[in-house]
Chains A and B, each alone.
Chain A
């Protein structure tokens, strides 16, 4: 049996006051990190990748469940872990050496051993000679090397990486990936396991011994499997492509919950009854949806999502919301990682700008609950105007505060494009477009 370093039992996160309807961010989740493995955690945005990482590292307390460290509950002593951050999170006013020394200083290590260990780790990551430089004098790749050095200098049992390569350009990222893998393979990294959060499918398959795919709304584990391919891996090999395709399929499989709620708006539920999921607007712009439909139409109406993303050099976080949006509007049909244009979608692609907007408006009113709610609410007011707080309150019951803002932003985008309603950002009011907003006292 493999030795588990970290074990999460029924780990759960929800926001909201006790008693009211909490917003579930992560459903009860079991998860282990084993010694000697690179574990990649993949998921679309909103699947709680970051939240999960922060609960496992002790940065944020779980709402329920527990994290075990070598089989014992984590209390008092925080586990010996490090994080490599997406934004590097270096202190700009400290030199490279001071940045790397800072964690050792926090542990009360004296000056001489501290310097020795820091210099050694800087050499390992290829930064010797840069000790006295300030982070702002370094390129992105070099900065992330400092981030690695700072994380490794405390010899963490588990090294957590939160999308460590996504702020870097393609070449630099590839270079750092390869080097990380080499250091891991010849055991130069002073850590026993790596936990990598990413939204890049190829990156996960390239690096990981084991891949976990998260689903969203709420975040939960969809699948957890070993990557059997030998290292170094070839991106063009059949096994590699098969795995990538498999993950795409898992990610694009429609969730079990129904996509759209019938015309009659849901009546308030008795307390305690399971609530119907409020359909979430994917964060895609109408322009992006149209573009994707056009490309699809050029390719005789259907394609593999992976190809589509690859050709556009998009990552899943970019392409999935667009596909989801088109599917929500009834313009495409998605199955098993393939997208296909529906008759409504074909009509939309072939129409001119004016009619397109009407088709969009029609589809949005018929199939998108939030758009319909906003339009109806505005129509029912005599001055056709409502403050955004009104809709905030409706959405707050279903989404986190940040998500509520994003939902409304997307709805505004769609509503404007469709000519259904407009929004005045200075007075924060929705209104129906053919009338000017009454001058609102500033």
Chain B
């Protein structure tokens, strides 16, 4: 923050006035937030308007962006709360652990749209006459797309807490509260933040699907960026489409600068390392927050004393640790009772589900299997195409630090654009070229998933130790040998990670890529994703359930049969140990 001019007097005055400007900035921010809360409250408590007329004027964009942001933020905080609670229970309850992990595995493979009818109808019937019901439905939909990987991340962080650290908190009698805030949350923070970034990016990806959809005879349209983009595309309004795209990219980049970068910088203190690392990321905003007088006063006068009071309250209330931890009989009895009720309930629901599925005609089932085959092919072709360009480019970037410095920011911006927002533009091009959605959807999947592979290949290539490369030079390896012996095995673990994520993403993307509302008509192609979307549109719950089961089974099976063995190979044979 030091000014360039050498004049000492001016620097002093700046030093004094700068925090004052910061304070004004902070106060303005508080005021804006306050007004925003009021607006949202008024809108939510108003009459239910399931299908708002979406204006295509660029001037409505700020309002729409705000509404979308609030939705995303609430969904994200719900996800965070859920992830932490779920992860904690799964990590500490030995009886529930295997079930809870398996549930995560399966829920992760169910596409967002399959949750749609259930969630939407439940929420709307909960608040029949208020806008809040429809809004909550949309929020829960975004939540279902974000929460699973965060829960998994927190769970595995808890499982990997070093034993002595955990013993230290026991021997020094940390209560649950102190253990959570001084051990568990800090230890899991970095994993949670990175997964949050991935999750929120996923939220943007499905925003269009979550804000505007048809459910049987009912048309749901919520004011937001996603519905704006979809309306613009539906009307073939290119300029509105571009405006929407710009707005979305702008919002995403702002969030990146204002939230994720400061968070990543700040989370550096939670790194579990014994020595300080040399490369420390920086964030201007975090600097502002750390240097503002108002924030400092708030922290010292309010937050810290309050935190202290809360901490002490919980410490004094915490039950003294008793030596033999036995569960009281009545608690066990309640547990058994609950388990029995849950099993009975699940049994009944499964029975009902099968009864529903019996209604699916055999021809439909046959079509579904064909669709699954088509989508399976598309997913794998898109993975192959993505690998074909990302592996050489990623290796080139990873091997060449100068190239990396230039290209990394560009690719990061490119990757941050949610592919769904580009779909309409791409579709227009495909239609104009006379191509169909059969091939076009591959391009759409590619657009959404190639980045996972690219970033992992770059990371893998830059992690190959330079002495291995030197050996290759020393012995004059041919180009083919270099790839076969050094590069491919070196990036293998990273490549597998990238491919796993990309494959999951591609399956999920199929539901938006294979079926598209376009100028009052529907473009679609043969595929499982198209069938799920169509079933939602038509309110055909039996078909939707069937197709979801087929997709979830396919994804879980591929994970178990293909990716997990490859992962193990990556962790044993191709691990570069330092």
Contact = CB atoms under 8 A, between A and B. Distances in A.
Find the residue from B271, B315, B566 having the highest chain A CB count within 10 A: B315
A108 B569 contact: no
B174 A106 contact: yes
A106 B175 contact: yes
Interface string A420-442: 00000110000000000000011
Contacts of B182: 91, 94, 102
A135 B271 CA distance: 12
Contact of B164 (A58, A77, A82, A87): A87
Contacts of B162: 87, 89
A89 B165 contact: yes
A61 interface: yes
Contact of A77 (B186, B275, B320, B569): B320
A106 B321 CA distance: 12
A93 interface: yes
B572 interface: yes
Interface string B165-181: 10110111111001000
B323 interface: yes
A137 B572 CA distance: 34
B577 interface: no
Contacts of B165: 89, 91
Contact of A85 (B168, B173, B178): B168
A83 B311 CA distance: 23
Contact of A426 (B183, B311, B322, B572): B572
Interface in B169-206: 170-175, 178, 182-183, 186
B312 A108 contact: yes
A105 B315 contact: yes
Contact of A82 (B171, B269, B316, B320): B171
Find the residue from A61, A75, A105, A137 having the highest chain B CB count within 10 A: A105
B21 interface: no
B467 interface: no
A136 B186 contact: no
A76 B172 contact: no
Interface in A86-141: 86-87, 89, 91-94, 102-103, 105-108, 110-111, 134-137
B323 A89 contact: no
Given A89-B165, A93-B269, A102-B178, A154 B321 contact: no
Interface in B311-343: 311-312, 315-316, 318, 320-324
B269 A85 contact: no
Contact of A105 (B168, B178, B274, B568): B178
A75 B566 contact: no
A23 interface: no
A75 B321 CA distance: 9
Contacts of A61: 323-324
Given A61-B323, A76-B322, A83 B171 contact: yes
B347 interface: no
B322 to A, nearest CB: 5
Find the residue from B165, B171, B271 having the highest chain A CB count within 10 A: B171
B273 A106 contact: no
B520 interface: no
Interface residues of B, number: 40
Interface string B559-577: 0000001101100110000
A78 interface: yes
B323 A108 contact: no
A256 interface: no
Given A91-B165, A105-B312, A136 B276 contact: yes
Interface in A135-160: 135-137, 150, 154
Contacts of B566: 442
A92 B272 contact: yes
Nearest to B267: A93
A91 B182 CA distance: 8
A171 interface: no
Contacts of B322: 75-76
Contacts of B178: 102, 105-106
B323 A75 contact: yes
A425 B165 CA distance: 31
A81 interface: yes
A164 to B, nearest CB: 12
A426 B172 contact: no
Contacts of B20: none
A87 B174 CA distance: 19
B275 A136 contact: yes
Contacts of B569: 426, 442
A59 B171 CA distance: 7
B312 A110 contact: yes
A229 interface: no
A94 B321 CA distance: 24
A107 B273 contact: no
Given A57-B171, A110-B312, A426-B573, A93 B186 contact: yes
A89 B572 CA distance: 29
B483 interface: no
A74 interface: yes
A154 B174 CA distance: 13
B470 interface: no
A93 B565 contact: no
A89 B168 contact: yes
B324 to A, nearest CB: 6
B173 A107 contact: yes
Contacts of B99: none
Nearest to B320: A77
Contacts of B312: 105, 108, 110
Interface in A330-388: none
Contact of B167 (A89, A91, A110): A89
Given A78-B323, A106-B178, A91 B171 contact: no
Contacts of B273: 92, 136
Contact of A425 (B308, B316, B573): B573
Find the residue from B168, B271, B318, B572 having the highest chain A CB count within 10 A: B168
Contacts of A425: 572-573
A232 B548 CA distance: 76
A44 B269 CA distance: 38
B323 A58 contact: yes
B77 interface: no
A250 B273 CA distance: 40
Contact of A137 (B164, B174, B276): B276
Interface in B119-175: 162, 164-165, 167-168, 170-175
Contacts of A91: 165, 182-183, 186
B270 interface: yes
9 closest A-B pairs (Cβ-Cβ)? A103-B172, A108-B316, A89-B164, A89-B168, A108-B315, A93-B186, A426-B573, A85-B164, A106-B173
Given A76-B320, A77-B320, A86-B164, 8 more contacts: A57-B171, A78-B321, A83-B171, A92-B271, A106-B178, A108-B312, A150-B168, A426-B572
30 contacts: A57-B171, A74-B323, A75-B322, A75-B324, A77-B320, A82-B171, A83-B167, A83-B168, A83-B171, A85-B167, A87-B162, A89-B164, A89-B165, A89-B167, A91-B165, A91-B182, A92-B270, A92-B274, A102-B174, A106-B174, A106-B175, A106-B178, A107-B173, A107-B315, A108-B316, A110-B312, A134-B269, A135-B274, A426-B568, A426-B572
